[in-house]
Structure 1
């Protein structure tokens, strides 16, 4: 019996249906089966070669932990996602893939993983039509940059000349609404992971965001109406001292641009409200949390605080207050700020991005529509880049080192590329001015018996897990300076 003969011990039903009708006793059977065998081997070889070729054309996704059906890796996520992703990269490599529900998520955790510059993805809860929140900014792509006094604080952005009582009332309402918007933006939303559920809004995130947006419109309306009335009264009195463009605050610039109009890129009241919201949401928690981390780190290292205060005393003296003109003359305090932004980047995973087309990064396919989280927190603590990466050491940024303009992919707390943070100048001035004022005016110490806790709590904006409580002691010689 040849190797291709049908064994008598096997029933005919054991053979594939396409060999059932072959008569192996036929003189031509061996030749026919030999031909079929060669054909099968040839097809198998071609299939394997095609698969290898296809793999070369389309590299695999980055590695990552295995997930469960339907939910993927959702159930295994740790609340401190930024450090959880960093731990996973130690096992799976510098760039990770996780499946969160129906979404493929790509997480670069080291500089060598490459940096993706793709459109930002807003959370589904922030995508309500006409929303005044910063996630849904409806400005057309060619909207001109608003120059002038955009780097003022939030108080100046919404007006500074109100009667005290009315101003406090509006400010309190404003803070409540902004806190509500920030809370909704930070909530995990099932609709982000299972887009098919978005229409049902099971958690009510979109509804609450719409409600917060409506409240913001009312508050902004009060602020804008009041500003119109005040400017009108000034014009009637002939008071032109603060009507000049160099004295305009951010809101005045926006209202003037709206009134002047632009045929190509008209500025509407919705745009004005959205830009105001961007300024407030983007510049409130981010600034205050950075200042809080900086104060905590310096209180943990008193020698750093003393050195910063010595610089302030040399530049300003102890019989004067901090002015904005002093800020460029404080290189060591600038190094402190840079080190805080390295160790505690205020947006630890940046703003999520979504590639508009598939691409290859680091030898892996990044599919179109994936959600990309760049773990800048992990990159800033990469021991292959930074010496003693978990230690707070401003000396690493003295002599002007540390460029956060987005060109250095080992240090980019504000992002990089076309979508780099538009508020870098404002953030730099606000953080520096706040730190300089706090350190120059006061000495700081912990309450008796308290221990300093530097642990972090993950969120869209990184914050201290335990809020800092510190006791100030005046440093300035003239008590009038504190009035």
Structure 2
């Protein structure tokens, strides 16, 4: 029986006695056969590869609803809800809020692997709408995606802005504002005060002074109050639950007006930064503040270097200024508020802190930063506060350590000063409220209202 190739050769297309034709037919046959074998081989290989690399099943978690996920099941106390689900499903659970999937890690050892050993893999940020407007699409440290530009920015901040030398140069700014807080509290001795508000204002004023020192003109007080109000409103937008964040297909509609409100506040804030920078440039020809070089002065010096590896753009400087204000103020405020609350709940721990302060600082001195490394028990209190009340438990902003350095400097000095200069009582025998509210930060539901009592032995130095 003739085969297919004989029929082709004898059908008039090619003559059988033609040697070239025979060679061509053989070559085509071999080529087709080899192509078939290659296709079969790669088909099997791809099939095997797909089976081997089949996506791992997601972590376990509570059953959710279609589309909404777990939105309707999350209680007001989010962390207690997550803790309960972790006890049921294990240290790694999945929660779905709308179209957003969150993986919750409750094991310290696993969290360490993610944040330390595999930090580069998990370093990218999912930017909220307000943050996109506030950072020019993520040009800052907090929200910038992992890569060479983020590495450059972090390196500059560590080596230039947050170095011990730079922070020491700003010490007088911190000291001055904290002493101003003490004098304000002395004027309200024996009366209930909103300590949460005092802490926020002091942290904010200390941070602003560290940023641009005394470079503002005579309208400083008025501008600072307006800046504080604009800043607080912008931060509220950052922590506001956003429907379009959970359902991205709704983002073009800006249903809650978050995008337009953020644009309004950020325009004012960056306009304010611009005016401050212009004033600083005008003062640049005058005498330098060698002993009190603020952050803005250092940032502007980096911009003027002209070196691609070390220079910063004006947009990066604006975004960095907002980073420092947000990080230092919010982290200081939240942690300080929780630390004071927990100490008031545990009088024995509070007494140990006071005894340590008296032993190291004494009645005749005020707290200075050189005292802080010796306040080991107070440091342990701050660390325990951060453990049980982490400012960003969901790591939504994945706040880098560089931004929190300023907060730590302010926090320890302020907390030590408040506990050294005053005795604190809760009015009307009330107990400290420990209800939590979680948005971007884990804060208290109710402000901390307490009554300061002057200590006669320290009046002269703390008054």
Distance 1:481 1:154 in 2: 24
CA contact 2:216–2:279 (8 Å) conserved in 1: no
- Say if 2:80 is the partner of 1:83: yes
User: 1:113 Cα shift?
Assistant: 4.8
Unaligned runs of 5+ in 1: 1-49, 354-413, 415-419
Does the C-alpha gap of structure 1 residues 277 and 476 become closer, same or farther in structure 2, counting only changes over 3 Å?
farther
* Stretch of structure 1 that moved more, 434-443 or 422-431: 422-431
CA contact 1:137–1:271 (8 Å) conserved in 2: no
Please give the root-mean-square deviation of Cα atoms over the aligned residues, in Å. 2.8
User: 1:444 Cα shift?
Assistant: 0.8
* Deviation sequence 1:198-245 (CA, Å, 0-9, x none): 22222111221111210111111222223233343xx2xxx45x2x3x
Residue 427 of structure 2 is matched in structure 1 by: 447
Instruction: State the SS of the aligned residue for 2:156.
Output: coil
Residue 270 of structure 2 is matched in structure 1 by: 217
State which of 116, 132, 136 in structure 2 corresponds to 1:130: 136
Distance 1:126 1:425 in 2: 21
Mapping of 1:69-468 within 5 angstroms? 69-111=66-108, 113=110, 115-116=113-114, 117=119, 118=122, 119-128=124-133, 130=136, 136=143, 140-141=149-150, 142-143=152-153, 144-146=155-157, 147=160, 148=163, 149-150=166-167, 152=170, 153-161=206-214, 166-232=219-285, 235=286, 239-240=287-288, 242=289, 244=290, 247-264=292-309, 266-351=311-396, 420-468=400-448
* Deviation sequence 1:67-116 (CA, Å, 0-9, x none): 22222222222232222111111222221122222232222222365543
Does the C-alpha gap of structure 1 residues 120 and 163 become closer, same or farther in structure 2, counting only changes over 3 Å?
closer
Distance 2:216 2:375 in 1: 36
Residue 59 of structure 1 is matched in structure 2 by: 56
Distance 1:344 1:290 in 2: 8
Instruction: State the SS of the aligned residue for 1:72.
Output: coil
* Deviation sequence 1:353-406 (CA, Å, 0-9, x none): 7xxxxxxxxxxxxxxxxxxxxxxxxxxxxxxxxxxxxxxxxxxxxxxxxxxxxx
Instruction: State the SS of the aligned residue for 1:319.
Output: coil
Instruction: State the SS of the aligned residue for 2:354.
Output: helix
Does the C-alpha gap of structure 1 residues 166 and 341 become closer, same or farther in structure 2, counting only changes over 3 Å?
same
CA contact 2:328–2:404 (8 Å) conserved in 1: no
CA contact 1:72–1:99 (8 Å) conserved in 2: yes
CA contact 1:126–1:133 (8 Å) conserved in 2: no
Distance 2:356 2:432 in 1: 25
Instruction: State the SS of the aligned residue for 1:59.
Output: coil
Aligned residue pairs: how many?
Answer: 361
When normalised by structure 2's length, the TM-score is 0.71
* Stretch of structure 1 that moved more, 301-310 or 136-145: 136-145
Distance 1:166 1:284 in 2: 22
Instruction: State the SS of the aligned residue for 2:62.
Output: coil
Q: Which structure 1 residue ranges, 4+ long, deviate > 6 Å from structure 2?
A: 131-134
Does the C-alpha gap of structure 1 residues 210 and 164 become closer, same or farther in structure 2, counting only changes over 3 Å?
closer
Unaligned runs of 5+ in 2: 1-46, 171-205
When normalised by structure 1's length, the TM-score is 0.68
